[in-house]
Structure 1
Amino acid sequence: MIKNTNLINISTYKNDVIYFEKEMHEILNNFAKYFKINKQIILDVSIVSSYTSRKLNFEYRQKDKTTDILSFGYDDFDLYDKMPFLNLGELVICNNKIKKQAIIFNHSIKREFLYLFTHGLVHLYGYDHQFEKEKKEMDFIVDSIFNPLKITRND
């Protein structure tokens, strides 16, 4: 795979939203390597308000609360078999929820944001954590993709 050819389209709801584009690309490259994806990956990321997060969470999951991240994948990967790229889907990340969780879990916003970004990517690729066995597998995959960045609690 050729490095830095993956495309992340980022949209934010206001100008002062914090995100870590360089590290997002590193994670996406690690993701491609882990899953042996040898084509360009296209990903949309929307960073939204608490209101939008709650609204989308209710609309698509029937849960009336703000959530940290939502993953909207294209479940038909066969569609992309003959194309030179793979469109993974969209991650919707709640800026305020990330900040609050970083405080609760006693680590940096950077770590919280990027770990959830990685978690969301793995969801887009079809993994879930409804059951303990699935959770262990998904956690292992997320850690395998995230840990090479060596982002500590204080970064």
Structure 2
Amino acid sequence: MSLQLDWSNEQQKLEIPDEWIATLEKLLRLAGEAEGIQYGEVSLTFTNDEEIHQLNREYRGIDRPTDVLSFAMQEDGVDELDIIFEVEHEEDADPISGMLGDIIISVDTALAQSEEYGHSLEREIGFLFVHGFLHLIGYDHQDDETEAEMTAKQEAILQQVGLTR
């Protein structure tokens, strides 16, 4: 087992091209390498604004849609997550602890943002996916310093696959 992506498309606006999934799998591998994570599974769901609004309200108490939500399986129960360092050998990996978590992306919001920012929808979805992955492994952006750190990491990973602005 290495880093694995399990995905589903639960929205009707856009058929997700196979090439995009291949790019997301590559982004997952590159982000994992950059963070020293070799094993684990990430579940990705493409949804719409209505569904992500409901999840955002239910789990975060924010009554509006958002672009991406991340639900980490490796949380330690405190406000901030600890960065996860995976085992060195696959045979030492516990299948339950290998579940890094869920990333949910609103295709509606991603489409609007890609138009607003003037780049491709594939780039926006890639950005949101890497952003969500970094949240799963403990990164956050509560202040300017941590936001700058996350942004730099995201952009470096996206550049490796040619998803630039």
TM range (shorter): 0.7 to 0.9
Q: Aligned-pair distance for 1:145?
A: 1.9
Q: Which runs of 5+ in 1 are unaligned?
A: none
1:60 and 2:59 aligned: yes
Show CA shifts across 1:29-88 (max 9, x none).
1012111123x321101111211010001111111111010000021487x754256321
1:106 and 2:106 aligned: no
1:29 and 2:47 aligned: no
| Contact 1:69/1:116, CA 8 A, preserved across alignment | yes
Show CA shifts across 1:12-32 (max 9, x none).
114643251111111111012
| Contact 1:73/1:88, CA 8 A, preserved across alignment | yes
Structure 1 equivalent of residue 141 of structure 2: 129
Structure 1 equivalent of residue 79 of structure 2: none
| Contact 1:17/1:95, CA 8 A, preserved across alignment | no
1:71 and 2:81 aligned: no
Structure 2 equivalent of residue 94 of structure 1: 106
The alignment's TM-score, normalised by the length of structure 2, stands at 0.81
Report runs of 4+ in structure 1 exceeding 2 Å deviation: 14-19
- % of aligned pairs identical? 27
After TM superposition, list the pairs within 5 Å mapping 1:79-90 onto structure 2: 82-83=92-93, 86-90=98-102
Structure 2 equivalent of residue 48 of structure 1: 47
Q: Cα distance 1:125–1:151, how it changes in 2: closer, same or farther (>3 A)?
A: same
Q: Aligned-pair distance for 1:6?
A: 2.7
When the two chains are superposed, the root-mean-square deviation of aligned CA atoms in Å is: 2.1
* Number of equivalences: 148
Task: In structure 1, give the amino acid aligned to 2:49.
Answer: S
Secondary structure at 2:93 match in 1: coil
